Amino acid sequence: MANPFRLPTESTPPTTASAMVRAALGALGVLVLANLAAGPFLAQATPNEGYRLIAEKWRLVEAQTAPVDWLLLGDSSCNQGLDPAGFRAAGLGSALNLCTIGDLLTLNDAWMLDSVIAHAGPPRRGVVVTHVYDMWHRAPNPSLLGKVPLPWGFWAQGAAAIKLRPEQQWRVLLARYAPLYEESASLATALRAGPGAWSPGPVTDAAGFKAEVEANPEAVAKDVRAHQAFVAKAHFKLSAANEAGLEALLTAADARGFDVYLVNSPLIEGLDADPAFTGYYADVVASLQAHVAGHRRAHLLLAAPMTFPAAEMVNADHLTVAGAERFTARVIDEIGRSAADGAGQPR
Amino acid sequence: MVFTSWVFVGFFAVVYPVYLGLQRHFRAQNLFLLVVSCIFYGYWDWRFLALLGGSTVVDYTLARWIDATEEPRARKRLVTASILMNLGVLGLFKYFNFFADSAVALLDTLGFSSTWTPIRVILPVGVSFYTFQALSYTIEVYRKNLKATRSFVEFAVYVTFFPQLVAGPIERSTHLLPQVQTPRVVRLPEVNAGLSLILWGFFKKLVIADNVARVANEVFDHHRSYEGLDLVLGVLAFTLQIYCDFSAYTDIARGLAKLLGFDLMLNFRIPYLALSPSDFWQRWHISLSGWLRDYLYIPLGGNQGGAWLTYRNLAITMLLGGLWHGASWNFVLWGSFHGAILIVYRALGAAPEREPTPVSVGGHLRRFAQLGVMFTLTNIGWVLFRATTVAQIAWFFTHSGVRTSGHTPGFAADLALAAAPLLLVDLAQALRGDLAVLARLPTPARALVIGLLLVGLTAFGVRTTSEFIYFQF
């Protein structure tokens, strides 16, 4: 051992090609092992609630053995906006909330419906599909597609088939098989938080509903500004991926004999007074109406959005549990009204 | 083109096979190196190439003229012209804004309030490095330690060699130019050592420096929100950041050079194990401190003129060393501070690094005390270096302490996690007295360590990496 305070030198040690190759292969092995370990660890401990939500909802899909009366599909506004307990309480039978997040588009709704039908058969009464108005123009997020637990290549199969460019497929591959790289921020956060945070509880209840108790007026105000900025510049065009997902849902309803109710998400009050918003929103509704019109079991509910005060909202389109209770009741009411108007009858 | 970017990875992936393909034709290799070095540099801003090219042509020509004459006064005039030209370039691009702003401020203070806005001069990347490197050439030719090269390409490769063009090490013409002038052989041990340096450099930059930068930036940028131990942790974070950032660039530069068959000088030798200021400057940015010693301190008289002249020479050298980093009062303060502590240590006759290995417990304790004092002084210096105002410096010196806050555990954990791998490697290097510990490990251990470094880079490397700190100099 040298005197550690002496000035060190640098001498190049001898090596051989085989030693270098062995070192490289060994290092690669360590990397692969670490990546393999990161997967199960993150599945359990990821602080990314969105990923946990997708995993939870797909576990619910796979656990279905008997048909439910109502399937609730859609994005996170629906995840914490439509409570299956409200359907039971209203005497509409069993309901399952499978809503995930917006960037999975209607594609995930269609894939989930297919999977539920394959596992348990079609819903006995209907499917409610709830999305925020600013989801319909979006393209798929490859990182989120990587979290859909279907066999590789699933996006190109079935009724809701889409094409992914090679770089998008690469992102799906990374999201699915390289958690060490793709979820590095989650990994760092989880490790920094320590063992106490490595078993976060489920995001939703047994029926898939997320009860958010606390309103967040600051987040609401910030989100309203974001929405206003968005509609001020945007021109609506239904994305091809959403069109594929939507058509798959509506076609399945026709073929299997259940009703599909498209529902616009709850919104913060006052946003609908913005002329840019109303223009954009009207375009979204017109587009959805055009699709609904082509299918006999399809209905559009809440063409005018149901609005809520900031005291019942977490952001501009996500409700607290108190708001969710009112929203669920209104949707049930609208479904009933739609049925009374002769919905479900061949047109 | 930043080393830690995918653009550079792609650039080198194309350059390297072509370079190796030209192995038997080293002049063609040189021409190729010149072209790719210009592409590398021009990627920042192609306009900077004109300045780099212009000063290279002038230095090449002046050196040829110096070499061509034996007349001492003519040689002196020519080397003076080279010095003036290079320092003029530095002065214009590096100090123009500072003096222009200072002049406007002075006019305002004197009551000549004007709406005049001085023109802004963009600082070309790496200008401080390549002008000093070019100066080393003309001075060595003047001193007759080196023959002026007849080949412009060889000299241009010496100035523009892309691995070390923008942030050093500031190579000596007597060391690098002969390597340009002779065929290089790329050997397996050098490739192995080079790859180890590159990997360790990437890890230091992306995993350590860029992660602790978050703590350092938060504390320095919002210093009034912090006090007590948080300020200390912020300073320690910057101490870690600047070492890992700058030494990472050097490691990657030296590693790339080894892959190309070149040997670049050492720039760091575990600097935070220094026991005194003179020891520190033999370990930190060695290529600059050596340059200042050989071309400034010794020509000024060095330590040959008695104590007071030595102190003066040290003060001038360190002040200019501080100014080399930029025209800003904090660099002046930093340079002056290091000059002052060099003088104090010299006056006290403290040169512990030259003592033999201590055997007694007391001897060991004394070493650690010396280490602690020097490390503390180094940290004080970094406060001067990193701060942007005198008020900020004052805040750090008057509000640092041991009081904790809600931020303290997070800062401490981030710092400890980032420092752990560096401590392990630096300790291994110090105990073995060899910087090439990673390349020297037995194959299974090497595989494990490389694997862990790759895991660290993959999982904890900062993706939106910032440019290396020393690019601004």
Over residues A241-263, the pLDDT tens digits come to 999 999 999 999 999 999 999 99
- Residue A130: is it exposed, middle or buried by C-beta count within 10 angstroms (0-12/13-18/19+)? buried
A296 or A328, higher pLDDT: A328
Tens digits of residue pLDDT in A62-111: 999 999 999 999 999 999 999 999 999 999 999 999 999 999 999 999 99
> Which helix or strand (DSSP H or E) is residue B393 part of?
helix B390-399
Other C-beta atoms closer than 10 Å to the C-beta of B400 total: 20
Q: Which of A7, A9, A19 sits opposite B443 (nearest CB)?
A: A19
Comparing A330-344, B81-95, B220-234, the range with the smallest average pLDDT is A330-344
Whether B120 and B97 have beta carbons less than 8 Å apart is answered as yes
Residue contact B433–A3, C-beta within 8 A: yes
Q: Is the Cβ pair A9, B433 closer than 8 Å?
A: yes
> What's the confidence (pLDDT) of residue B397?
94
End-to-end CA distance of chain B: 16
Please list, in sequence order, all residues whose beta carbon lies within 8 angstroms of the beta carbon of residue A255, skipping any fewer than 6 positions away: none
Is residue B140 within 8 Å of B61, Cβ to Cβ? Answer: no
Q: Give how far B93 is from chain A: nearest CA, Å.
A: 36
Which residues lie below 8 Å from residue B190, measured CB to CB, with a gap of 6+? A12, B258, B259, B261, B263
Q: Is B185 on the interface with A (CB under 8 A)?
A: no
Q: Which residues of B are catalytic?
A: 325
A266-275 pLDDT, tens per residue? 999 999 899 9
Mutate to test the interface with A, among B203, B453, B454 (most CBs of A within 10 A): B454
Find the farthest-apart pair of alpha carbons in chain B and give their distance in angstroms, rounded. Answer: 72
Residue B473 pLDDT grade (very low, low, confident, very high; cuts 50, 70, 90):
low
Is A26 in Cβ contact with B443 (below 8 Å)? Answer: yes
**Out of A1, A6, A15, whose CB is closest to B192?**
A15
Query: Which CATH number is A26-340 given?
Result: 3.40.50.1110
Phi, psi of A284 (to 5 degrees): -65, -50
Q: Is the pLDDT of residue A343 over 50?
A: no
Question: Of B109 and B144, which is predicted with more confidence?
Answer: B144
Looking at residue A82, its pLDDT comes to 96
Please state the φ and ψ torsions of residue B283, each to the nearest 5 degrees. -120, -25
Band of residue A347 on the pLDDT scale cut at 50, 70, 90: very low
How many angstroms separate the CA atoms of B197 and B204, rounded? 10
Q: Is B263 on the interface with A (CB under 8 A)?
A: no
Mean pLDDT of A8-28: 94
Which of B269, B435, B448 has the CB atom closest to A26's CB atom?
B448
Query: What is the per-residue pLDDT for A240?
Result: 94
CA atoms lying within 13 Å on the CB side of residue A209: 21
| Band (B120; pLDDT cuts 50, 70, 90) | low
Of A4, A10, A23, nearest to B446 by CB-CB distance is A23
Residues of A in contact with B371 (CB under 8 A): 5
Contacts with B351 (C-beta within 8 Å, 6 or more apart), sequence order = B276, B278, B345
Q: Which of residues 335-374 of B touch A (CB under 8 A)?
A: 352-353, 356-357, 367, 371
pLDDT at B455: 95
Judged on CB neighbours under 10 Å (0-12, 13-18, 19+), B386 is: buried
For B181, other C-beta atoms within 10 Å of its C-beta total 17
- Beta strands at A298-301 and A267-268: parallel, antiparallel or unpaired: unpaired
Inter-chain CB proximity B188 and A23 less than 8 Å: no
Q: Please, what sign has the CA dihedral across residues B236, B238, B239, B241?
A: positive
Residues A309-323 pLDDT 10s? 999 999 999 999 999
| Structural contact between residues B185 and B261, judged by C-beta atoms closer than 8 angstroms | yes
The vertex-A148 CA angle with A143 and A149, nearest 5°, equals: 135
Does the pLDDT of residue A191 top 70, yes or no? yes
Q: Which residues contact A103 (CB under 8 A, 6 or more apart)?
A: A138, A140, A141, A144
Distance CA A333, CA A118 (A): 30
Phi, psi of A136 (to 5 degrees): -65, -20
What is the overall mean pLDDT for chain B? 91
Peptide bond into B356 cis (omega under 30): no
The interface pTM score, or ipTM, of the predicted complex is 0.82
String of b and e for A97-127 (b: at least 16 CB within 10 Å)? bbbbbbbbbbbbbbbbbbbbbeebebbebbb
Contact B276, B308 (CB under 8 A): no
Contact (CB<8Å) A26/B190: no
Which residues of chain B lie closer than 8 angstroms to A15, CB-CB? 188-189, 192, 439
